Amino acid sequence: MKLEQGQKLLFIGDSITDCERAKPEGEGLFNALGKGYVSYIDALLQAVYPELGIRVVNKGISGHTVRDLQNRWQEDVLDQHPDWLSIMIGINDVWRQYDTPFIKDWHVLIDEYETTLRKLIDETKPFVKEIVLMTPFYIENNVNDYMRKTMDEYGQVVKKIAEETNCLFVDTQAAFNVVLQDLYSATLAWDRVHPSAAGHMVLTRAFLKEIDFNWNR
């Protein structure tokens, strides 16, 4: 397992990460980590690797884009001094282009997305041991669906940045695609964005696989 004794693992992103976590500090007891993949990862780390004492923090905020992350990066990431940082952002950057097409100010187009995400990673890399980049996703089988096609393009940007900056990479869309071979999209997400418990477990497995979590330990 790539995580080491006593390390602090911070997750940042949008509503998929937020998942009703405590504000302002998403850590501690009483569902402080929310009800999604962050809480599942924390639970499995405690249950399977209790001796490591990994500290998990959730800094997701519903509705946020990479532009919003930039505005709160100092307080919610750098000032937290994490050892590991996981970033999953981009769903709203894409979604606003489709659900509010006439409000251009809310749209984060792909060039701004790439430039901003790369800037955040470059300025954070010297202060953390590892960064995990998770792609945005759209729980839709039809690869020709307009929003799915755009989301895939943003996912390719994440992959490119991960390769060029030597970050760990989690292809969440690929993980969902496997399950979508047998399940209709609404089974995993009523709006094709906000996952059910099973959908959050897909994200959990994909993340834990990338950090070499031993399920048979």
179-198: pLDDT as tens digits = 999 999 999 999 999 999 99
- What is the DSSP annotation of 124-180? HGGG-SEEEEE------S-TTSHHHHHHHHHHHHHHHHHHHHT-EEE-HHHHHHHHT
* 3 within a domain of the structure (yes/no): no
Question: Token pair for residue 211?
Answer: 């950090």
- Concerning whether 200 is annotated as a catalytic residue, the answer is no
| Across 123-143, average pLDDT | 96
State the residue range of the domain holding 32. Answer: 8-210
Write out pLDDT tens, residues 5-26: 999 999 999 999 999 999 999 9
Let me know if residue 1 belongs to a domain.
no
Structural domains of the chain, count? 1
Say whether 39 is catalytic: no
pLDDT tens digits along 97-118:
999 999 999 999 999 999 999 9
> Is 139 domain-assigned?
yes
Residue 184 belongs to domain with CATH number: 3.40.50.1110
Residue from 14, 15, 171, 200 carrying the catalytic annotation: 15
Q: What is the mean pLDDT of the chain?
A: 96
Contact (CB, 8 A) for 120 and 73: yes
Q: What is the pLDDT of residues 30-59, one digit of tens each?
A: 999 999 999 999 999 999 999 999 999 999
Q: Is residue 62 part of a domain?
A: yes
Which pLDDT score, from 0 to 100, does residue 100 have?
94
185 classed as catalytic: no
How far is residue 120's CA from residue 117's CA, in Å, rounded to a whole number?
5
Catalytic residue (choose from 81, 99, 122, 191): 191
Q: Which of 62, 68, 152, 194 is catalytic?
A: 194
Task: Reply yes or no on whether the pLDDT at 217 is more than 90.
Answer: no
Is 2 within the bounds of a domain?
Answer: no
In a domain, 15, yes or no: yes
Residue 67 lies in a domain: yes
Whether residue 215 is contained in a domain is answered as no
